Structure 1
Amino acid sequence: MQNGNFFYQILPIIVFIAIFYFLLIRPQQKQQKAHQQMLNSLAKGDKIVTQGGIIAEVVKVEDDHLKIRLNDDVVVKLDRNFVLRKIDETAKEVVKK
């Protein structure tokens, strides 16, 4: 009888941990994986948005940095970790039409 009572006492904790995992941890891991795949797929000519809100074009992809063009004359080096997202040009065109 003692073992059954212990199981019913610990069951709510197990359920809480499972809910916490499926609502918070798992979605965050999926988002991190998708962001890492996006960083790995960056190529010359891609348009990106940095964490500072700067919109730029990738000029050269290096190991842990990117060379990006801010305007016609300015090319700077950016750490990959500061890329927020990639701008999808084709999706923009569809929305405009």
Structure 2
Amino acid sequence: MLITPAFAQAGATGDTNSMLMSLLPFALIFVIMYFLILRPQQKKVRDHADLVKNIRRGDTVVTSGGLVGKVTKVVDDDQIEFEISDGVRVRQMRQMISGVRTKGEPAKGDAKDEASAS
């Protein structure tokens, strides 16, 4: 025999430990990428979905194309209609809204609350 059983057993445990240590940097890179890239992106998508969902009549919106206008009508769950100039109305998909500048009228439920508070 060229190798004694004691050396053969010691070599096997050393390989397992070194294999675990070689995979550790990959796991560390994945964790760092999750916290620096994936998690903030998910938060941004969630915030945009809330912003788009809460658009109502009277809000001033900015589209992804750069148009700025005042919402005149919420058509349905997918579209809004806004006025970019006197008498010029445009229909736009909600997902193409990039920002809301000013808030408009309160929602129907909010009007009751304000009347009872007065």
TM-score, normalised by the number of residues in structure 1: 0.86
What is the 5 A alignment of 1:50-69?
A: 50-61=63-74, 62-69=76-83
2:30 corresponds to 1:9: no
Q: CA RMSD, aligned part only?
A: 1.1
Q: Distance in 2 between matches of 1:88 and 1:12?
A: 47
Counterpart selection for 1:75 from 89, 102, 106: 89
User: For this pair of structures, how many residues does the alignment match?
Assistant: 89
Residue ranges of structure 1 left out of the alignment (5+ in a row): 90-97
CA drift of 1:4 comes to 1.5
What is the 5 A alignment of 1:25-64?
A: 25-61=38-74, 62-64=76-78
Identity percentage over the alignment?
Answer: 30
CA drift of 1:20 comes to 0.6
Q: Distance in 2 between matches of 1:55 and 1:47?
A: 7
Structure number with greater Rg is 2
Residue ranges of structure 2 left out of the alignment (5+ in a row): 1-12, 104-118
One-letter identity of the residue aligned with 1:45: G
Q: Distance in 1 between matches of 2:36 and 2:91?
A: 37
Alpha-carbon deviations, 1:42-76, whole Å to 9, x = none? 00000000111111111111220001111121111
2:34 corresponds to 1:24: no
Task: Give the structure 2 partner of residue 84 of structure 1.
Answer: 98
